[in-house]
Amino acid sequence: MSDEWVGVIKAAAPRYMKGAIDLTIRKRLILAMLERRGLIVTNYNGSHESRFDVDYKEPPVESYGDGGVVSYERRDYLQQAEMDWRGYVATDLMTIKERAMTSGQPTTMVNRYKRIFPKLTKGVRNKIGLEFYIDGYAAGNENRFCGVESFCGADTDYDTTGADVADIVADPKDTYLGLSTAVNQSGRWTSDLSTYPNANIAYDWPEGEGSPDFDYWSPKLVNWSSTTFHSDTTWDDTCVPVLRRTLQWLRLTSGADGYTLMAVIAGHMMTDFKAAFDSKLRVIAPHKEAEDLGFPDVLNFEGLGIHTEFGIPANTGYVVNVDEMELDILTPKLINTKGPDYDPDSLAYKFAVYTFGNWRFIPKHCAKLYNYAAS
């Protein structure tokens, strides 16, 4: 039997893959928004790791009167982040014995193996979407993409969860891309409030004001089960003030504009959020950009897009600024195919679908919503 079937499958793969990549992006709102902005970067030019500078503080500015003496000195405004590369692969094979057994039915064999690439691609596609939420630094995740949970660790030395029942934020304490996410590593912040958002931090942050280096790499870990938001600490009671405050923090402390902020929350939280508005007989409008991208069920809350999708942990939500993140991919396409190639050592034809890259976030532009005080 000739190798014509191999050529048929190889020829069909590129035609299939274009549609498969489009489908991958259409299935996930964040991916669709990143693609629109050109923030899914393929053929990323990197070596074994990617290093990039983080501009973490501003120059000191002093008042000046006529004739005053001005001092000059060199200043360092940069920290360096280091991102390694992760990857996923899905494989299949056909042995020459299997080929011999079906050699009298070439059409059946071709049809069977034409379905291999779609099957493998679907697995990789689903994996990319789910990996948005994982902690790439957790044990066992060393080769998985570093999702949003990779920088959302809290200071459990302060409390078992990093927050007390009255705290409206937890105390961030993690390491992401080699940099600490802790607040108050340098710089200044006000301490004028009678009750601090987090008693352990003991500053007004993320309320008040201060210098950018105070929280340049710190996410907002919002404790939606805080008694400060509502005496009843269930999500349906606290969701409106929590989302309103989180939206305000991200806009004021990290300069987010308009519709760049998107919230993805667990399914049961989305149901309760809608119910909270049902009781007030209010209708929430759809989010315009999400609707244009084919996601009509995304809601617009004061400019914040809110939706849910499969894979979000229970009691958890994330708010991200989609203009301040990237999906960096080393390979020519988001999802790539190889094969079928004959391997004489295993006497088999091998198929592979793969991707290599990583998510890149700026933690300052992100928030996690979680019931820290109830944990």
Residue 71 lies in a domain: no
Does one domain contain both 98 and 127? yes
Does one domain contain both 200 and 299? yes
Residue 64 lies in a domain: no
Residue 124 lies in a domain: yes
Does one domain contain both 130 and 206? no
In angstroms, the CA 206 to CA 253 distance is 7
Does one domain contain both 355 and 368? no
Does one domain contain both 350 and 366? no
CA angle, 229 as apex, 228 and 231 as ends, to 5°?
75
Residue 248 lies in a domain: yes
pLDDT of residue 18: 60
The two three-digit tokens of residue 126, written as one number: 């689903």
Does one domain contain both 308 and 352? no
Nearest C-alpha neighbor of 368 from the set 162, 208, 189: 162
The burial class, CB within 10 Å (0-12 / 13-18 / 19+), for 203 is buried
Nearest C-alpha neighbor of 155 from the set 199, 190, 196: 199
Residue 32 lies in a domain: yes
Does one domain contain both 271 and 212? yes
Does one domain contain both 132 and 177? no
CA dihedral 215, 220, 226, 231 (to 10 degrees): 100
Q: What is the model's pTM? A: 0.87
Does one domain contain both 240 and 339? no
pLDDT of residue 1: 42
Nearest C-alpha neighbor of 314 from the set 266, 274, 271, 275: 266
Does one domain contain both 251 and 312? yes
pLDDT of residue 157: 86
User: Tens digits of per-residue pLDDT, 183-201?
Assistant: 999 999 999 999 999 999 9
The CATH code of the domain that includes 215 is 3.30.2320.10
Residue 269 lies in a domain: yes
Nearest C-alpha neighbor of 220 from the set 156, 157, 170: 170
Residue 294 · residue 256 · CB < 8 Å: no
Ranges under pLDDT 50 in the chain: 1
Domain range for 110: 4-39+49-55+80-144+334-359
Residue 190 lies in a domain: yes
pLDDT of residue 280: 66
Does one domain contain both 199 and 87? no
User: Tens digits of per-residue pLDDT, 243-274?
Assistant: 999 999 999 887 766 568 999 999 999 999 99
In angstroms, the CA 249 to CA 247 distance is 6
In angstroms, the CA 303 to CA 258 distance is 6
The tally of domains found in the chain comes to 2
DSSP secondary structure string for all residues of 136-180? TTSTT-TTS---GGGG--B-TTTSSSS--TT-SEE-B--EETTEE
Does one domain contain both 88 and 186? no
Residue 68 lies in a domain: no
